[in-house]
Amino acid sequence: MTDTAADVSAVNGFISKTITEHPVALFMKGTPDQPGCGFSAVVVQILDHLGVEFVGVNVLQSDELRQGVKGFSDWPTIPQLYVKGEFVGGCDIVREMFQSGELKTLLAEQGLLAA
Amino acid sequence: MPMPAAELEADLHAAFPDAEIAVEDLAGDGDHYRARIVSTAFKGLPRVRQHQLVYAALKGKMGGALHALALETSAPA
């Protein structure tokens, strides 16, 4: 196995572990307190507004992670939101789902919103 | 690395021949676009799959030549 293949498999392992251990996981640029990109900031604002707990993973900490997360989900851009291990979407989809109420419904159905 | 709106539109038309497509250059810099695409190809697909079809049509330009493409996809009513 080449070093590159080993890196990819380590990154994929990290991503699977993250989305399994955290019911709501956001791969983003920067951190929830200090988003490094407007699109990531929008998703953080929406999740905060809904009052859902989530873990933000800063993809800028490593180039392997930044590329790896795109390959993992077959999605070319950051941010990427996962709920209960399922890829929900990027900024546009999350915003649309928030505006239509679908996101709240999804989170409530998964028992992730305080009643 | 900017990309002309006409090129973006041509790629989309090639992939979705039946579609109604509207491309808007949001910042006037050839790098931040919004595209509205209405195509029967999207019928019955979740949004993530719809957008993945669009990204596939752009053959890796998204996240590369194209920094930002806001997408609104839907099937004809």
* Average pLDDT for runs of 10 along chain A of length 115: 71 96 98 95 98 96 93 93 96 95 96 83
- Sign, CA dihedral B50-B54-B59-B63, equals negative
Indicate if ipTM > 0.85: no
Q: Give the position of tokens 């989900």.
A: A73
> Domain B5-74 is of which CATH architecture?
2-Layer Sandwich (3.30)
- Residue B1 pLDDT level (bands cut at 50, 70, 90): low
Selecting from B48, B63, B71 the residue whose C-beta is nearest the C-beta of A70 gives: B63
Shortest Cα–Cα distance, B56 to chain A (Å): 10
Contacts of B52 in chain A (CB under 8 A): 74-75
Question: What's the confidence (pLDDT) of residue A90?
Answer: 94
Contacts of A92 in chain B (CB under 8 A): 51, 70-72
Contacts of A88 in chain B (CB under 8 A): 48
CATH number, domain containing residue A99: 3.40.30.10
Q: Does the pLDDT of residue B21 top 80, yes or no?
A: yes
Summarize the confidence of residues B2-27 as an average pLDDT: 92
Report the distance separating Cα A47 and Cα B38, nearest Å: 29
Residue A58 lies in a domain: yes
Q: Which chain A residue is nearest to residue B70, measuring alpha carbons?
A: A92
Residue A115 lies in a domain: no
Shortest Cα–Cα distance, B18 to chain A (Å): 23
Question: What's the confidence (pLDDT) of residue A48?
Answer: 97
- Please, which contacts does B43-50 make with residues 24 or more away whose CB atoms are closer than 8 Å? B43/B75, B44/B75, B47/A89, B47/A93, B47/A96, B47/A97, B47/B73, B48/A75, B48/A87, B48/A88, B48/A89, B48/A93, B50/B74
CA A56 to chain centre: 7
Give the domain extent around A13: 3-109
Total domain count, chain A:
1
Q: CB–CB of A76 and B60 under 8 A?
A: yes
Question: What's the confidence (pLDDT) of residue B61?
Answer: 86
Report the distance separating Cα B19 and Cα B40, nearest Å: 7
CA A5 to chain centre: 23
Question: What's the confidence (pLDDT) of residue B63?
Answer: 74
Summarize the confidence of residues B15-29 as an average pLDDT: 92
**Which of residues 18 through 77 in chain B touch A, CB cutoff 8 A?**
47-48, 51-52, 55, 60, 62-63, 68, 70-72
Over pLDDT 90: what percentage of chain B? Answer: 66
